[in-house]
Amino acid sequence: MSPNSRRRSAVRPRPRALAPREALVALLVVALAFALAGCSAAAFDPTGPCSTDGSAPGAYPDLEAAVPTSYNGAKPTDLDSGRACSADGLATLASHGVKELRFAGGTWQTGTQSGLSLAVFTNVVGPALDPAWITEFFETSARAGKNVTSIATTDFPISSGVSGRRIDVLNGDSYQSIVIWPKNGQVAVALIANFITEIQTKAAHDVIVQAAVDALAG
């Protein structure tokens, strides 16, 4: 499947590090965030000038070290890192001068069709990455989703003196939330999706959102 054809799906495809397994089909906003899914780990070279988008376990160990080693007592089912430099991969970030976005993320399955990803992002070529640009990136992606019926963006307190932005999406039968904030010169992102039949209430979903943010905020 070509990157252009994937962009016409709910949101843009995203790196495998941040993508859940097949069971986590609820994570549309998470799983379709970047146009990188076509790059296999075997073909991806994280060294030298960036010529292709992709991800692989251990590609950028320093970034992977910023991802929590556990959530709710469990290790991530996936942990890897990668980079994006193509027009499809950067999407709205390119308009802000971002030329090589690097990222690392871990994914946890929290239900049969529910899960979360905890990730960090940085820009290594171009200006320092602004959390507002990542917020714009995900919000734009979410608004392209054909099953999205509601999107709300609000402030979200992280810790004393640190505030982030939260994007809440109702995507079909799934509550989906993305929380973005600055952390140690990088941008931290917690992405959470829960099938309504599994989580039952928005209040229960909110509890998991807070727990995911706390895990990544450290």
195-214 per-position pLDDT tens digit: 899 999 999 999 999 999 99
Do β-strands 115-125 and 148-159 pair in parallel, antiparallel, or remain unpaired? unpaired
Going by pLDDT thresholds of 50, 70 and 90, the confidence category of residue 119 is very high
Q: Is the pLDDT of residue 140 over 60?
A: yes
DSSP state of 72: T
Question: For residues 207 and 128, what is the distance between their CA atoms, to the nearest angstrom?
Answer: 32
How would DSSP label each residue in 88-118? HHHGGGGGGT--EEEEEEEEEE-SSS-EEEE
Q: Is the pLDDT of residue 17 over 50?
A: no
Least confident of 8-12, 45-49, 90-94: 8-12
Least confident of 2-6, 122-126, 146-150: 2-6
**H/E element, 209:** helix 202-217
Higher pLDDT, 170 or 24: 170
Pair of tokens at residue 173: 């039968």
Question: pTM for this structure?
Answer: 0.83
Residues 6+ positions from 16 with CB-CB distance below 8 Å: 36, 37, 41, 55, 78, 80, 82
Sequence letter at residue 158: I
Supply the mean pLDDT for the chain.
80
Q: What is the pLDDT of residue 69?
A: 94
7: number of Cβ within 10 Å: 16
